[in-house]
């Protein structure tokens, strides 16, 4: 058994030795390959991919995707500014906020990005303020359950996201009375979508709704394509789904009377498999029922296992050919922060480096400073060389913004 991990052609253990642990490492080549695979999966239609930068927002990753021709999907004003800082033009950025103050939306308009609204009240405010002078996209909730976890399914009836498809007549009254210019319709059902039917059911709802919006330039179907987290996982067949969606979209455009752009907002699909969290085994602790590997990381660095019950494969890169043993991998946080239960891993010794796979999406961006722990460094493997792209935090970073008024 040999579980040697290479990241962009470089040995993971060597990267850990150079930069220390814990450290997030990303493979730029994998990011490029995933982006181009998705881009080419929808034959015969004009496809525009807007990478969801909430998944991973380091400026270097954004620049890699900009080189590939990507746009961005931003969900906050600061994400918009991150995109502009990375060199994206305002026209390449879609801003899709949720439950924000209207002043933030006005600031986004001033920056010149696309605006996507998912609330009738906000839509009315937007119309009163801008009328037809600023185009707007409307996010509809199709009431379709997607994915296997309520936290990653955002198109169901109890979701806070989007305007209910059943409120479409109200939307039209607002749009018409305020002479608004709707240039896009949007939906996003959630993550881990395997079946083209999920997209196609939502697409039919958007196609029907589009008949009442004569100024459309694009339709945005969100994303949610599933990647593999362990051997044998069922994943999205993006080429099969792409063919079906493209066929349906071409038929819609013919009926609509002109060709629109087909937009998607991939995040996890593009960066998840590119990322690795390298950690060190601090202790091996045997109890009456379990052998624990305690590592120098935890839910403060990778919260997905606790938040989503997500599975991440864990491999011993220091002893890849060791005899497999069963361990539970836990962190150093004073909470239950198990990164993997009952995992068969090549024998681990204290000091060994472990690689946690599929950590590129919603890893660093969801990290935090709980227990006054610092966040790790980030490294990008680009063209066969490992580059430090974010320094590890230190104690000074934790207290930088504190104001001592006691003296």
Q: Is 137 a catalytic residue?
A: no
Q: Contact, 281 vs 294, CB < 8 A?
A: yes
Helix (H) or strand (E) holding 339: strand 338-346
Nearest to residue 275, comparing CAs of 379, 384, 386, 190? 379
Catalytic residue among 99, 137, 253, 334: 334
Q: How many CB atoms lie within 10 A of CB 387?
A: 14
What is d(CA 203, CA 219) in angstroms, rounded to the nearest whole number? 9
Q: Contact, 244 vs 29, CB < 8 A?
A: no
Pairing of strands 324-330, 353-356: unpaired
For residues 161-174, one letter each, b for 16 or more C-beta atoms within 10 angstroms of the residue's C-beta and e for the rest, the string is bbbebeebeebeeb
CA–CA distances in Å: residue 342 to residues 8, 65, 300, 320: 29, 37, 21, 18
Pairing of strands 46-52, 23-27: unpaired
Structure tokens given for 260: 């629109």
SS3 211: coil
Instruction: Collect all residues with Cβ–Cβ distance below 8 Å to 67 and sequence separation of at least 6.
Output: none
**DSSP letters of 49-112?**
EEEETTS---HHHHHHHHHHT-EEEESSHHHHHHHHHTT--GGGEEE--SS--HHHHHHHHHHT
Structure tokens given for 228: 């593999």
SS3 123: helix
Known catalytic residues? 334
């Amino acid at each position: 058994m040999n579980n040697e991990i290479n990241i962009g052609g470089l040995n993971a253990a060597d990267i850990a030795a150079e930069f220390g642990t814990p450290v997030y490492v990303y493979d730029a080549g994998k990011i490029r390959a995933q982006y181009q695979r998705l881009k080419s999966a929808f034959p015969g239609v004009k496809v525009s991919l807007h990478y969801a930068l909430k998944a991973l927002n380091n400026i270097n990753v954004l620049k890699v995707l900009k080189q590939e021709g990507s746009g961005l999907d931003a969900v906050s004003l600061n994400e918009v500014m991150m995109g502009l800082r990375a060199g994206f033009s305002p026209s390449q950025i879609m801003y899709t906020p949720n439950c924000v103050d209207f002043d933030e939306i006005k600031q986004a308009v001033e920056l010149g990005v696309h605006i996507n609204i998912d609330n009738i009240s906000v839509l009315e405010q937007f119309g009163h303020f801008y009328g037809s002078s600023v185009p707007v996209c409307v996010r509809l909730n199709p009431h379709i359950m997607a994915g296997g976890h309520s936290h990653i399914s955002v198109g169901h009836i109890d979701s806070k996201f989007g305007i209910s498809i059943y409120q479409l007549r109200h939307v039209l009254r607002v749009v018409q009375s305020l002479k608004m210019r709707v240039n896009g319709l949007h939906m996003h059902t959630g993550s881990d979508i395997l079946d083209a039917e999920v997209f196609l059911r939502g697409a039919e709802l958007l196609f029907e709704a589009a008949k009442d919006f004569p100024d459309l330039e694009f339709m945005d179907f969100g994303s949610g394509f599933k990647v593999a987290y362990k051997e044998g996982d069922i994943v999205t067949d993006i080429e099969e789904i792409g063919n079906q969606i493209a066929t349906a979209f071409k038929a819609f455009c013919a009926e609509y009377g002109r060709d629109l752009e087909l937009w998607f907002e991939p995040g996890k699909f593009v960066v998840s498999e590119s990322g690795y969290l390298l950690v060190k085994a601090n202790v091996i602790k045997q109890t009456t029922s379990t052998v624990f590997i305690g590592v120098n990381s935890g839910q403060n660095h990778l919260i997905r296992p606790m938040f989503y019950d997500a599975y991440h494969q864990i491999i011993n890169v220091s002893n890849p050919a060791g005899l497999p043993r069963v361990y539970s991998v836990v962190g150093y946080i004073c909470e239950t922060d198990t990164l993997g239960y009952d995992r068969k891993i090549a024998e681990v010794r204290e000091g060994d480096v472990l690689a946690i796979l599929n950590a590129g999406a919603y890893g660093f961006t969801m990290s935090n400073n709980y227990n006054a722990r610092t966040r790790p460094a980030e490294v990008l493997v680009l063209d066969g060389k490992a580059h430090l792209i974010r320094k590890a935090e230190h104690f000074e970073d934790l207290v930088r913004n504190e104001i001592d008024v006691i003296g």
